[in-house]
Structure 1
């Protein structure tokens, strides 16, 4: 929970609000409703998706994790434009890292747009390190920076 929103598991009923945020945040490579439904269908087996809900009940952010074996991947994190810089993204990332730890992951990976310095800064604050680059990864030709954070007892305690 943050002062701005409460976190809970995402449901199919959240998809209209999530898709609106998805399309405004990622206009060139937004996930489709079918893709998101597929991710939700794998909860809780290999997926963990959450939403951030404001006091009035409005979904203002969402995030997802894929986890299998000793590895987890941050699939997505997005916050409504008018709610950014309020700690919601950080709260959701912390929740995903906690879930990865709970599931026994030893490392968490993600890709972040090379043209999104605020997101890169947030991930670095959480201990993610750059491990590579995927050229023209996104549909609009933007590169993706690959990042990784190892999970160990010390980091989990510090988080």
Structure 2
């Protein structure tokens, strides 16, 4: 499913992407950032599937014509279940459909690897992210009280049919799904970012 869209390209994450991903990780999750060792450990696990979105439309192999990493996402796939581990998009790139495209990529990987149910946690104070996930077939199944720093609850959501979710959204048609984290809507800055 990796491809080119609206000035960015999604491709599998490699070891060479770790420094750029760590820069975004620290910027997007200053209180809950993973360590570099944690990110490298995730990449080394065969049940993990991580992707980056890079500016530009290069070959997709980190080669010439490809710009810097502007977003990343990860999936833990242990069939029949999977978990969206994280999704983060550089604030300068919000509103371009990157979060939606990464979620489509992650759900596609879930389906490819035999995952029948995908779970995630989303901040209770991020309604736009919740709406995007609902559009992809995620439904609220519980709450983890004070899960995030600052005492923010996590809403636990589940998508029971990843392939149907992609089909129902058309893979997230450009301009159709809500982007999360638009400061104009009074968002507190949590934005297009979620960490499991």
Q: Would the alpha carbon gap of residues 84 and 148 (structure 1) be closer, same or farther in structure 2, given more than 3 Å must change?
A: same
Distance, in Å, in 1 between the alignment partners of 2:108 and 2:26 is 27
Distance, in Å, in 1 between the alignment partners of 2:154 and 2:144 is 5
2:141 match: 131
* TM-score normalized by the length of structure 2: 0.76
2:34 match: 31
Aligned to 2:17, which of 5, 14, 17?
A: 14
Residue 155 of structure 1 deviates from its aligned partner by 4.0
Aligned to 1:108, which of 113, 118, 121?
A: 118
Aligned to 1:93, which of 88, 103, 114?
A: 103
1:49 match: 50
**Number of matched residues?**
157
Listed one character per residue, the Cα deviations across residues 50-98 of structure 1 (whole Å, up to 9, x for unaligned) are 0000115110000000000200100000000000111000000000000
Would the aligned equivalents of 1:4 and 1:88 in 2 still touch at CA under 8 Å? no
1:2 aligns with 2:12: no
Worse-matched range after superposition: 149-158 or 109-118 = 149-158
Residue 118 of structure 1 deviates from its aligned partner by 2.2
Q: Tell me the SS of whatever aligns to 2:104.
A: helix
Q: Tell me the SS of whatever aligns to 2:37.
A: helix
Q: Tell me the SS of whatever aligns to 1:143.
A: strand
Q: Specify every segment of 5 or more residues in structure 1 that has no aligned partner in the other structure, as ranges.
A: none
Q: Would the alpha carbon gap of residues 153 and 34 (structure 1) be closer, same or farther in structure 2, given more than 3 Å must change?
A: closer
1:62 match: 72
1:122 match: 132
Runs of 4+ with >2 A deviation: 152-159
Q: Would the alpha carbon gap of residues 154 and 91 (structure 1) be closer, same or farther in structure 2, given more than 3 Å must change?
A: closer
Listed one character per residue, the Cα deviations across residues 111-139 of structure 1 (whole Å, up to 9, x for unaligned) are 01112222112111111111100001113
